[in-house]
Copies of this chain bind each other. A is one copy, B any other.
Amino acid sequence: MAKFDMQLDVLFTALGDPTRRAILSRLARGPASVSELAAPHDMALPSLMGHLKKLEEAGLISSHKDGRVRICTLNPAAFAPAQDWLSEQRAIWTTRLDQLDDYVTQLMQETRK
């Protein structure tokens, strides 16, 4: 499987969970500690850490230790392959719909002759 394909697998799968999306939305507002990220979620810490690990593996977040506190930061650039893939699909079907539109217009003009 191509590297780009594997990257998209990991990325879309990471986005397919409400806790992980909530963490990303929080981090879009600025870096946060693990306990700040855990606060809104009724979840055991190991489960939350599991979600953070998946986001880190997808490259969507990075983390560093600041004394005894682990701080997480969003990596906005990591969303790009997902956005690019969705835009590509839109371009393909828009082109197809334009071609269909041209064809129908041409057909109508020929019928009028």
Contact = CB atoms under 8 A, between A and B. Distances in A.
A45 interface: no
Interface of A: 1, 5-6, 8-13, 15-18, 21, 24-25, 28-30, 74, 76, 79, 82-83, 85-86, 88-90, 92-93, 96
Where chain A touches its partner, the secondary structure class is helix
B9 A12 contact: no
11 contacts: A5-B18, A8-B21, A12-B13, A13-B13, A15-B85, A28-B89, A28-B96, A30-B96, A74-B93, A76-B90, A83-B90
B92 A29 contact: yes
Given A25-B88, A82-B86, 10 more contacts: A12-B13, A13-B13, A15-B16, A29-B92, A29-B93, A74-B93, A76-B89, A79-B90, A82-B82, A83-B90
